[in-house]
Amino acid sequence: CNSLPMSGFDIDRIIGPHGRGPDLATGLKRVHPDAIVFTIQGDGDLLAIGADALMGVLARGEKFTIIMYNNSNYSSTGGQMAPTTLMGQVTPTCPTGRGPDAGYPVHGAEMLAGFKTVVYSARGAVNTPANYQATKRYLKTAFQKQIDNVGLSYVEIISACPVQWHMTPLQSLKWVEKIIAEYPLGEFKNVDRIE
């Protein structure tokens, strides 16, 4: 889910190992400090397999943009439970629904907003025209923070995964509303300098 959308853009890109987007972005930004560098990652990619890379970036105060798709599962590998899977949600790895013994959903935008080195953190969705427009504004703000060389910017995007959810596209839009109930939309941090 994280690499396919980029195939339609005429920009330089690197597809790296799962979870290592922040590491690649760090290297690119340090070698090319004036370049606009961003990662596009899924929720399992960034918040599970890539959690160590993410923590390093947060500790060091890297200055690029992270875009994370939250579709509440590992959609590119079979729909397994991800850190963002909702309580009670059925996946191949939690066939009776996610319970407390498997942990609770991780709220990335709120979590990242708590770090000093993050200057912008927002969560949008693309299930309605209004949410789509708000998400575009969040992305524009995130990239502007990078252009201004302020600090790390992060945008989480709630998106559908009808194939792994075994739903029609219309059913998946209804499911997105359940995800939004767990993960509220909006800006969680917007500052002009690291304090």
Which single residue is written with the structure tokens 């798709």?
69
CA dist., res. 8 & res. 147, Å (int): 23
Domains of the chain: 4-190 (3.40.50.970)
Q: What is the tens place of the pLDDT at every residue in 122-173?
A: 999 999 999 999 999 999 999 999 999 999 999 999 998 777 778 888 898 8
Average pLDDT estimate for 62-73? 95
Q: How confident is the model at residue 115 (pLDDT cuts 50, 70, 90)?
A: very high
Q: And the tokens for 86?
A: 């909702």
Residue 40 has pLDDT above 80, yes or no: yes
CA dist., res. 11 & res. 159, Å (int): 23
Q: How confident is the model at residue 2 (pLDDT cuts 50, 70, 90)?
A: low
